[in-house]
Structure 1
Amino acid sequence: MPTITTRDGIKLYYEECGSGTPLLFVHEFGGDWRSWEPQMRFFARRYRCITFSARGYPPSDVPADADRYSQEIAVNDMVDVLDGLGVDRAHVVGLSMGGFATLHFGLRHAARALSLVVAGAGYGAEKQYEDYFRGVSLEVARKFEEMGAPAFAGVYATAASRIAFQLKDPRGWAEFAAQLGQHDATGSANTMRGVQARRPSLYDLEDELKRMAVPTLVIVGDEDDHCLQPGLFLKRTVPASGLLVLPKAGHTLNIEEPGLFNQFVGDFLATVEQGKWLPRDPRSAPAEIMKTQ
């Protein structure tokens, strides 16, 4: 079983396939390395694709102490995976929890990021919902511990932002829910407590984000309500960013709409590699409605 050992001694399971420019996939809270299978198959035709299970997600190690989980540690783990595989720079694609980690990777390690795809990132970012998000994150952690992953997965998988997926692709949604039920309850609880409940709001990072020059594609579903406004915020804040809104789509974008996701990410990567994904031209000032002189 291929693993990378992190700087603090945690073994992370990874898979890779293909050759070429490295492309690192970072999964969401409700997923694991398997969540990226549609992307691994598609992009391995042109890229060296790498996916891994975060700490707390078997077959990676599951530390029992919640203090060994944090946003900073999640980014360190991404760096350690790249270092362990001898990768200097990579395109990075993350969903939800992985999208937050991808954004923080760009802030802390811009020189190592060829580009960023930040999908479904927004939960807990809205200032008016900060307290609620932290509270419900701790409640989710408690439920995983009390009920166990197999039982609680059926509840978690029916959250509002997952319904669009369930309705349009019952088979795909059922696979997602089944894989969620195979997670480690301790790892899930500690991830909620250490990463989700403690991470800073995106709005608190505004000054840093304005200085981040990494080409960035932000993707949200139009039925993923708590990611829509953060998505607009990122578009207006990150200089070289574009915003893609997928219609009638929820949170689990890369497996809910794999065809559209792959198409637009593929176009984005190609544009970046041609040096054509540029910061917004200052002439297209957002305050201007019509030109009169």
Structure 2
Amino acid sequence: MFVTARDGTRLHVEEAGSGTPILFIHEFGGNHLSWEPQLTHFARNHRVITYAARGYPPSDVPEDIERYSQRIAAEDAVDVLDGLGIDKAHIVGLSMGGFATLHVGLIAPERCLSLTVAGAGYGCEKETEEYFRQVSLNVADNFEKQGSEAFAKVYALGASRVQFQNKDPRGWQAFADRLATHSSLGAAMTMRGVQARRPSYYDLEAELKEMMVPTLVMVGDEDDHCLKPGLFLKRVLPAAGLAILPKTGHTLNLEEPIFFNLLLADFLAQVEAGRWGERDPRANPAQIMRTD
């Protein structure tokens, strides 16, 4: 089915199951099909929903760069909930989808039962922020000039993707094959409009400190440019927990689906039981040992 976003862009949506809703938002290198290990697992007890982001067929591929931004990506997630008549949902995102998830928590916290921000942080580190923007623009040019089928062979072998290939060559090949089918225009526009222009977490510190939605941050320990941003989110978000997956790269939900699902299931259960709250004020990070 399709949901129409507030600017008229049609977004392809798929859902299964019944119960408390979970909305899954995919990464740049994936699409709505990337969440299959999670959809099949969580549909047993939840209403699971995923969608293809704008620029990812069968969703529309706008040709205007101004129809792509971090704000629009977050609004699209809210529009999907609206289109399905869902008041509140658990929101789960990977990488680009993790950024969108966090921003849904900032612009519409009343729509979020919880947030899961996985493998998100590229471009946040201040020392590499400008470099990341330039690389994003280079990647956009490569998708546009070479086409997705050709450039996917390069992009799929990034420094934080090879862990997936080493552990699960068949799963990684399916990921790379999907990437090769992406719209070259959509990939380029997404890189230029969303990735290259999104704000760093560090620039949002004041807003993040006020965001009370229960949040699980997940990071692979070999996803180097997400580690420090993940620790930053743990430090500033009042109700955040941090899970670091060992010997793991960027594509968390596909690379370690069992581990990912277990962590997510436990988190959702704690949230739904009212057991995932703010950090106990007695757990003062400035204290090393109590002396009195």
Equivalents in 2 of 1:156, 1:200: separation in Å? 23
Offset at residue 65 of structure 1 (A): 1.3
Offset at residue 238 of structure 1 (A): 0.2
Paired amino acid for 1:81:
V
- TM-score with structure 1 length normalisation? 0.99
1:256-275 mapped onto 2 (5 Å cutoff)? 256-275=255-274
Corresponding residue for residue 21 of structure 1 = 20
Give the SS at the match of 1:287.
coil
Offset at residue 42 of structure 1 (A): 0.2
| Gapped regions of structure 1 (runs ≥ 5) | none
Paired amino acid for 1:271:
Q
* Cα shift readout 1:164-210 (whole Å, capped 9, x = no counterpart): 10111111000000000000000000000000000000000001000
1:61 aligns with 2:49: no
1:100-115 mapped onto 2 (5 Å cutoff)? 100-115=99-114
Equivalents in 2 of 1:245, 1:75: separation in Å? 25
Equivalents in 1 of 2:126, 2:46: separation in Å? 38
Offset at residue 290 of structure 1 (A): 0.8
Paired amino acid for 2:42:
F
Corresponding residue for residue 119 of structure 1 = 118
Paired amino acid for 1:141:
A
1:196 aligns with 2:195: yes
Give the SS at the match of 1:137.
helix
| Gapped regions of structure 2 (runs ≥ 5) | none
Equivalents in 2 of 1:19, 1:155: separation in Å? 39
* Cα shift readout 1:57-84 (whole Å, capped 9, x = no counterpart): 0000001111110001101111110000
Offset at residue 45 of structure 1 (A): 0.4
Equivalents in 1 of 2:32, 2:220: separation in Å? 22
Equivalents in 1 of 2:167, 2:263: separation in Å? 20
Give the SS at the match of 1:239.
coil
* Cα shift readout 1:128-170 (whole Å, capped 9, x = no counterpart): 1111000000000000011000000010000000011011111
Paired amino acid for 1:281:
D
Equivalents in 2 of 1:79, 1:292: separation in Å? 49
Corresponding residue for residue 86 of structure 1 = 85
Offset at residue 263 of structure 1 (A): 0.3
Equivalents in 1 of 2:198, 2:8: separation in Å? 23
Give the SS at the match of 1:249.
coil
1:39-54 mapped onto 2 (5 Å cutoff)? 39-54=38-53
Equivalents in 2 of 1:112, 1:61: separation in Å? 25
Paired amino acid for 1:236:
R
* Cα shift readout 1:193-233 (whole Å, capped 9, x = no counterpart): 00000000000000100000000000000000000000000
- Residue identity (%): 67
Offset at residue 13 of structure 1 (A): 0.4
Equivalents in 2 of 1:54, 1:211: separation in Å? 28
Paired amino acid for 1:263:
L
Give the SS at the match of 2:161.
helix
1:251-290 mapped onto 2 (5 Å cutoff)? 251-290=250-289
Corresponding residue for residue 5 of structure 1 = 4
Equivalents in 1 of 2:195, 2:54: separation in Å? 14
Corresponding residue for residue 76 of structure 2 = 77
Paired amino acid for 1:168:
K
- TM-score with structure 2 length normalisation? 1.00
1:291 aligns with 2:287: no
Give the SS at the match of 1:227.
helix
1:216-227 mapped onto 2 (5 Å cutoff)? 216-227=215-226
Corresponding residue for residue 175 of structure 1 = 174
Corresponding residue for residue 210 of structure 1 = 209
1:146 aligns with 2:167: no
Equivalents in 1 of 2:78, 2:263: separation in Å? 26
Give the SS at the match of 2:114.
strand
Equivalents in 2 of 1:60, 1:275: separation in Å? 36
Offset at residue 88 of structure 1 (A): 0.4
Give the SS at the match of 1:160.
coil
Equivalents in 1 of 2:127, 2:291: separation in Å? 39
Offset at residue 291 of structure 1 (A): 1.1
Aligned pairs, number: 292
